[in-house]
Amino acid sequence: MARTTNVDELIDLMKNRDIKGLARAISIVENDGEGKVRLLNEAFKEASGTCLTLGFTGAPGVGKSTLINSVIKQYRQAGKTVGVITVDPTSPFSGGAVLGDRLRMKEHNTDSDVYIRSLASRKALGGLSEATKYALYLFKAFGFDVIIVETLGVGQDEIDVAKFVDVTALLLVPGYGDTIQMAKAGIMEIADIFIINKSDRPGAELLKKQILNILYMKPEGERPPVVNTSADRDEGVEAVMEAIELVRSRSTIDGTERYRRRIAEEIRSSALSLLKNKVDQHLEQMVDRVLTCATTPIEAAEDILRHLRG
Amino acid sequence: MEEKRPIRVLIAKVGCDIHERGALTLMTTLRDNGMEVIYTGRYQTPKGVANAAVSEDVDVVALSDHTGSLPIIAESVLSELEKFGVSDIKVVAGGLLTPADVKSLEDMGVTGNYGPGTPMEVIVEHIRGLV
């Protein structure tokens, strides 16, 4: 079969749980292809409300993919189907990308109940590309029991993922920093679970103490669990699973409010991306005007907005 | 309308072959030429490669091998791709090849079939030409 771009055909393929349909649909939404809006609308309506969505974030090389590999194994043993979205950086110079996360999850390569898709970040901010958010809709419609999102290797302020998943785990490794580092705003605030990976290395216990030091300020029922793992040896993974269940049992309390906030975030992010495309259309012309001293960048921005309204 | 996107390539190594340098060099070269490259890692099965190619919706599968087994590898990967019901993913190959290997690969529809020392531009252009 040649690759179809027919939206009806893709929707049918997805309903029959054929990964070809899902794979093609993701490509279309990722590349702004024809039928994107219909696919996403359809997916939103079909989306399963019962699936668990997990986010794994952390700096490059801390072991996100390797840990996810172990987590997939746990869910597979429990008979759950698993979908994974992994994101690696796009080169700002060539536009190309090396997508290497799949390599760490290769033991699931022949399992038809595990679907792994690698996405390139393509200028995403916040560690989560527009395409990732849209792929999430399609994954939910496909009906996996568990959906795992692995972010780009991120730094201090890339916290988007937490807005779109049920449970966010932050991976750290020994040597990350001292108590002041733990107290800083941003990524340390979004974690529902702290995972200290590579805990076979020196400094793991110290890091755990430093994290707990900050977390003790929170009431016990809201305190994020801190877990030690050595993902490459499959150690500590059961504790990760328990932590996920613990956080899950907590978040049902304010489930409705959480869902409301997520929908708000989804609308905002889609609206901003549409707006960005429109603004980009006027950009070159405005740059010329600023360069010829006809206007200033601030005025140019207001001109563009006026133009959009008109 | 077909959407515009970077060319997506799966670089695959099947079976017991540790020689990774060619695959890694190709990986970074394709990246530098604006392609999105997924690497399976070593010691993969034909079924795993086909599954990855379909899941990742790639345009091209590039097989690398230095044990003299490319015709066998290509044949089994092609047959697994067929089981998935896809026929439009192009398969290219490179590594240690005898003239007889090249002949049998070409008969299967596998193109490229480059040996050691091939300039990278030749491979890049070949892949661009396929898509």
* Dihedrals phi, psi of A52, to nearest 5 degrees: -95, 130
Which of the four pLDDT bands, split at 50, 70 and 90, describes residue B3? low
Residue B1 is assigned to a structural domain of this protein:
no
* Average pLDDT of span A149-176: 82
The residue ranking higher by pLDDT, A128 or A266, is: A266
Token pair belonging to B120: 């990278």
| Whether A12 contacts chain B with CB within 8 A | no
pLDDT in tens, A88-144: 888 888 889 999 889 899 889 899 999 999 999 886 554 467 788 889 999 999 999
* pTM for the full predicted model: 0.89
CB A40, CB A29: distance < 8 Å: yes
State the nearest Cα–Cα gap between B85 and chain A, in angstroms: 6
Residue B2 is assigned to a structural domain of this protein:
no
Residue B3 is assigned to a structural domain of this protein:
no
ipTM of the complex: 0.89
State the nearest Cα–Cα gap between B101 and chain A, in angstroms: 28
For the cut 70, the answer to whether the pLDDT of residue B83 exceeds it is yes
Residue B73, domain extent: 8-130
Single-letter amino acid, residue B23: A
Give, in order, the Cα–Cα distances in Å from B118 to each of A146, B65, B95, B127: 44, 15, 10, 14
Query: Which of the residue ranges A35-44, A71-80, A263-272 would you say has the lowest mean pLDDT?
Result: A263-272
Counting the structural domains of chain B, the total is: 1
Find all residues with CB under 8 Å of A111, minimum gap 6, and list them: A76
Query: Which of the residue ranges A208-217, A227-236, B43-52, B55-64 would you say has the lowest mean pLDDT?
Result: A208-217
B10, β-bridge pairs: B38, B61
CB contact under 8 A, B37 and A103: no
Q: What beta strand segments (E) does chain A contain?
A: 52-58, 82-88, 97-99, 114-120, 146-153, 167-172, 193-196, 226-228
Residue for token digits 């997924």? Answer: B38
Averaging pLDDT over each range in A45-54, A89-98, A223-232, which range is the top one? A223-232
Residue B111 is assigned to a structural domain of this protein:
yes
CB A83, CB A150: distance < 8 Å: no
Query: Which of the residue ranges A83-97, A137-151, B22-36 would you say has the lowest mean pLDDT?
Result: A83-97
| Whether B44 contacts chain A with CB within 8 A | yes
| Whether B120 contacts chain A with CB within 8 A | no
| Option in B1, B51, B57 nearest A110 (CB) | B51
Mutation target vs B (from A37, A81, A94, A121; most B CBs, 10 A cutoff): A94
Mutation target vs A (from B20, B30, B31; most A CBs, 10 A cutoff): B31
Model pLDDT, residue A157? 57
> Judged by CB atoms within 8 Å, which residues 53-92 of A form the interface with B?
90-91
CB B38, CB A104: distance < 8 Å: no
* Average pLDDT of span A67-80: 96
| Whether B69 contacts chain A with CB within 8 A | no
The full length of chain A comes to 310
Which has the closest alpha carbon to A109: B26, B116, B39? B39
Residue B101 is assigned to a structural domain of this protein:
yes
Domain harbouring B70, CATH code? 3.40.50.280
Mutation target vs A (from B28, B54, B55, B84; most A CBs, 10 A cutoff): B55
How would you classify residue B57: left for phi > 0, otherwise alpha for psi between -120 and 50, otherwise beta? left
Percent of chain A with pLDDT over 90: 50
* Average pLDDT of span A194-213: 92
Residue for token digits 């340098």? Answer: B21
For the cut 80, the answer to whether the pLDDT of residue A5 exceeds it is no
B60, β-bridge pairs: B9, B90
| Option in B34, B45, B84 nearest A96 (CB) | B34
Domain ranges of chain A: 1-46, 47-253, 261-309
Rg from Cα positions in chain A:
21
* Dihedrals phi, psi of A58, to nearest 5 degrees: 150, 170
Give, in order, the Cα–Cα distances in Å from A132 to each of A1, A40, A127, A202, A295: 27, 12, 10, 35, 37
CB B12, CB B40: distance < 8 Å: yes
Residue B52 is assigned to a structural domain of this protein:
yes
Which has the closest alpha carbon to A116: B89, B57, B45? B57
Distance between CA atoms of B72 and B43, rounded to whole angstroms? 15
> How many other CB atoms are found less than 10 A from the CB of residue B7?
19
Residue for token digits 């590898």? Answer: B73
CATH assignment of A47-253, given 3.40.50.300, 3.40.50.2300, 3.10.100.10, 3.40.50.970? 3.40.50.300
Instruction: Calculate the dihedral angle through the C-alpha atoms of B100, B106, B110, B115, rounding to the nearest 10 degrees.
Output: 40
Residue B47 is assigned to a structural domain of this protein:
yes
CB contact under 8 A, A94 and B57: no
